[in-house]
């Protein structure tokens, strides 16, 4: 059962007043569907909206043209032939064949030569169209690949350049994909060619029934069904919407079903809860009853009333009524061959108009997605650099980067609570600082501010007396090395994973081997079959039929086994590999600040001790900041220990008992 509730045109969210179209909430089976309420059809509004998309479509067209003008023109010709010329030609040639056959049947003397000529022409045109379709199906993917790679490049560049603040502020751009580029162009082209085809066909039909004197009536009758279908058609995809499953029984059922996933296997077996899960599943299914669980869009489509459904069905037979009426009123007006041709064109027209209605709405929707890709270029980067080079001229910071935090406060984007409040501290060049404190007290946040992942919301961070924001961002990044548990392995080879610590020497295997040794990853790499060439979490596009099972004794199953076989390492081994990248970073000789934030949570005590020892070995010329809960063996090397407890920050003497 569907129930509807209308919402206000504006709503308050925190401090912002939201404007925009009013919304309407509908419960469809297990789903809560919220849609925008569209104003009644207003041609001026529609035109304004359509023309608003012109600059985007023009830019897209220029992008397509740039892929290769001759290829594009050839593709346009092929598509135009397929969607427009071929329809008219086949109608005309079929009609000609039927007329000649009908004349022959009437006189009893079929004109063999004329029939042969007409059939040969039809065959020739069919063969040509087949060649056109074949060529278009090969040329299209080439253009599609080129366009999508262009867009991929654009998206990649923009997403890589976006800083952390930007990512949090622009979550909506996450779903932006390159695929919409070709889809939009193709929809635009389809709309244009189908429109031309429909107009040409209407003209043809008009000419055919001209002899009856009721050409406009017949044309209108042909258009009735497509217009009704468009008018009564309901699809969630044609309007802005959000959907969520809200039925508690449905959600519980999904949760129980998910318990069959491999990741819960161990818990389920050791907990001995299989019986309970099955019993609960049956009980929940009973509680859900016959509530509709089909997709929200399917349910929305079914909201069409019975009278509209009946009217649309009947409309499909209106042309037949016309033929019947004409044959009674003026029997000589329409020949059988003309009726057959009209019948063929009438179903073609219905299909074309339906497609046109769909594609114009589709173009509108897709244009918005393409605009989102172009808009990525305008994403504002919150973290900006200044123009002072680092290290400052005349002050090479040979011992490491010095810091002074003056009344620094910080809140994460979108968060109301402060992660740091009014922090003041000084870190001298080359000091080894250990930051300790309770969970959530802001230790990692200090690191994020010092490495300029974020900027302080209040107060100042000074480097050598100069605001950190005044230094060139690239120079500061170059002078910083960070090792945290948020760092991941890249889906690239292990040698590249480590080598990227110093991109200038990404292929220098001697440096990479030494970095792997210092990071404690030497043995990890040695035991992998592909060694430094191993790619962990390899991005693969695998596909296999539902009738191929792993473990089967078929050759296909063996192939599948090989495809899905992947090297893997433990959590601690991963941390060693990531740490190796940091050691590689030191080889640039530019690093003046090292920030290490809990990188050893998965390391055994021996490996942890070794990692910190190796880090201390390369300490010369660097300020080092360690955030750790297991600081025991670091304290005796620390120059300063910062104790952070929610908003209270103090400095302790490392020699104090209990620290
Ligand atoms: N990206 C974020 N968005 C919003 N709030 C955040 C974000 N990251 C951290 N916080 C909040 O900021 C506060 C400080 O977090 P931070 O990670 O600096 O603490 P921490 O001292 O390093 O904690 P832990 O010892 O658990 O690692 C916490 O209240 C945390 O919930």
pLDDT tens by residue, 183-227: 899 988 998 998 898 888 888 878 877 766 677 788 788 888 878
pLDDT-derived band at 295, boundaries 50, 70, 90: very high
Give the ligand 1 atom nearest the CA of 438: 25
Alpha helices in 302-442 (DSSP H): 306-315, 318-329, 336-375
Largest CA distance in the chain: 119
Place of tokens 């792997």: 516
- Centre of ligand 1 to C-alpha 192, Å, is 54
Q: What number of other Cβ atoms are within 10 A of residue 339's Cβ?
A: 19
C-beta 391 within 6 A of ligand 1: no
Q: Is 442 in the pocket of ligand 1 (CB under 6 A)?
A: yes
Number of neighbouring beta carbons within 10 Å of residue 593: 23
Atom of ligand 1 nearest to the CA of 164: 1
For ligand 1, atom 29, the nearest C-alpha belongs to: 440
pLDDT tens string 312-347: 889 888 888 888 888 888 777 778 888 888 877 777
Which residue, judged by its Cα, is nearest atom 5 of ligand 1? Answer: 412
Residue 9: per-residue pLDDT = 43
Q: How far apart are the CA of 593 and the centre of ligand 1, in A?
A: 22
Domains of the chain and any CATH numbers: 43-209+334-378 (no CATH), 248-290 (no CATH), 384-479+590-659 (3.40.50.300)
Q: How far is the CA of 444 from the centre of ligand 1 (A)?
A: 7
**Is the beta carbon of 415 within 6 A of some atom in ligand 1?**
yes
Q: 458 C-alpha vs ligand 1 centroid, how far in Å?
A: 17
Cα(227) to ligand 1 centroid in Å equals 57
| Residue nearest (by alpha carbon) to ligand 1 atom 11 | 419
Distance CA 211, CA 222 (A): 17
Structure tokens at 164: 């952390």
Three-state SS sequence of 8-21: CCCEEECCEEECCC
φ and ψ of 192, to 5 deg: -65, -45
Residues 3, 381: Cα–Cα separation, whole Å:
44
The residue whose two tokens read 């059939």 is 119
Question: What sections of 316-335 are H helices per DSSP?
Answer: 318-329
* Dist CA 106 CA 101 (whole Å): 9
Q: What is the band of 650 on the pLDDT scale with cuts at 50, 70, 90? A: very low
Atom of ligand 1 nearest to the CA of 446: 18
pLDDT over 90 (residue 448) = yes
Q: What is the 3-state secondary structure (H, E, C) of 479-544?
A: CEEEEECCCCCCCCEHHHHHHCCCHHHCCCHHHHHHHHHHHCCHHHHHCCCCHHHCECCCCCCCCC
Instruction: Provide the ipTM.
Output: 0.97
* Spatial distance between the Cα atoms of 195 and 640, rounded to a whole number of angstroms: 75
Q: What is the pLDDT of residue 244?
A: 96
Whole-angstrom Cα distance, residue 32 to residue 45? 29
């Amino acid at each position: 059962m569907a129930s509807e509730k209308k919402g206000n045109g504006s709503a308050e969210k925190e401090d912002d007043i939201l404007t925009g179209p009013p919304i309407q909430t509908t419960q469809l089976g297990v789903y809560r569907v919220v849609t925008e309420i569209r104003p009644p059809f207003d041609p001026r509004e529609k035109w304004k909206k359509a023309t608003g998309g012109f600059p985007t479509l023009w830019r897209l067209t220029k992008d397509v043209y740039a892929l290769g003008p001759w290829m594009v023109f050839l593709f346009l010709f092929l598509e135009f032939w397929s969607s427009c010329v071929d329809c008219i030609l086949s109608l005309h040639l079929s009609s000609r064949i039927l007329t000649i056959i009908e004349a022959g049947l009437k006189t009893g003397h079929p004109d063999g030569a004329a029939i042969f000529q007409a059939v040969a022409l039809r065959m020739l045109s069919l063969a040509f169209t087949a060649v056109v379709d074949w060529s278009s199906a090969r040329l299209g993917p080439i253009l599609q690949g080129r366009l999508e790679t262009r867009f991929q490049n654009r998206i990649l560049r923009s997403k890589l350049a976006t800083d952390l603040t930007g990512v949090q502020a622009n979550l909506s751009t996450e779903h932006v994909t390159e695929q919409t580029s070709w889809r939009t162009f193709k929809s635009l082209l389809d709309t244009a060619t189908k429109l031309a085809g429909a107009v040409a066909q209407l003209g043809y039909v008009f000419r055919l029934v001209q002899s009856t004197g009721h050409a406009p009536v017949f044309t209108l009758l042909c258009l009735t069904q497509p217009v009704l279908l468009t008018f009564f058609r309901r699809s969630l995809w044609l309007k802005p919407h959000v959907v969520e499953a809200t039925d508690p029984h449905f959600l519980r059922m999904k949760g129980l079903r998910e318990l069959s996933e491999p990741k819960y296997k161990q818990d389920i077996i050791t907990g001995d809860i299989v019986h309970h899960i099955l019993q609960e599943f049956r009980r929940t299914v009973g509680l859900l009853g016959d509530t509709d669980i089909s997709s929200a869009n399917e349910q929305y489509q079914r909201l069409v009333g019975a009278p509209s459904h009946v009217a649309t069905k009947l409309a499909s037979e209106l042309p037949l009524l016309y033929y019947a009426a004409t044959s009674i009123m003026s029997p000589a007006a329409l020949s059988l061959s003309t009726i057959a041709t009209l019948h063929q064109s009438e179903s073609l027209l219905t299909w074309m108009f339906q497609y046109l209605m769909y594609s114009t709405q589709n173009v509108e929707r897709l244009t918005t997605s393409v605009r989102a890709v172009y808009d990525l270029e305008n994403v504002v980067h919150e973290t900006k650099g200044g123009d002072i080079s680092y290290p400052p001229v005349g002050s090479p910071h040979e011992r490491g980067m010095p810091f002074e935090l003056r009344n620094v406060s910080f809140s994460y984007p979108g968060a109301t609570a402060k992660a740091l409040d009014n922090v003041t501290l000084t870190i001298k060049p080359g000091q080894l600082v250990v930051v300790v404190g309770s969970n959530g007290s802001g230790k990692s946040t200090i690191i994020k501010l010092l490495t300029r992942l974020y900027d302080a919301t209040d107060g100042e961070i000074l480097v050598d007396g100069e605001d950190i924001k005044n230094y060139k961002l690239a120079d500061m990044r170059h002078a910083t090395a960070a090792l945290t548990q948020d760092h991941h392995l890249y889906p690239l080879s292990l040698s590249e994973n480590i080598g990227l610590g110093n991109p200038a020497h990404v292929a220098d295997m001697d440096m990479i081997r030494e970095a792997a040794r210092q990071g404690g990853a030497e043995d990890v790499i040695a035991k992998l079959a592909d060694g430094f060439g191993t790619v962990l979490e390899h991005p693969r596009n695998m596909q296999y039929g539902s009738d191929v099972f792993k473990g089967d004794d078929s050759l296909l199953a063996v192939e599948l086994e090989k495809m899905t076989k992947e090297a893997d390492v433990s959590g601690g081994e991963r941390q060693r590999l990531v740490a190796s990248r940091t050691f590689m970073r030191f080889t640039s000789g530019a690093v003046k600040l090292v920030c290490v934030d809990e990188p050893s949570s998965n390391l055994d005590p021996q490996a942890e001790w070794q990692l910190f020892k190796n880090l201390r070995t390369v300490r010369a010329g660097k300020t080092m900041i360690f955030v750790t809960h297991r600081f025991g063996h670091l304290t005796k090397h620390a120059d300063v220990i910062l104790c952070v407890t929610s908003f209270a920050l103090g400095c302790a003497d490392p020699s104090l008992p209990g620290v």
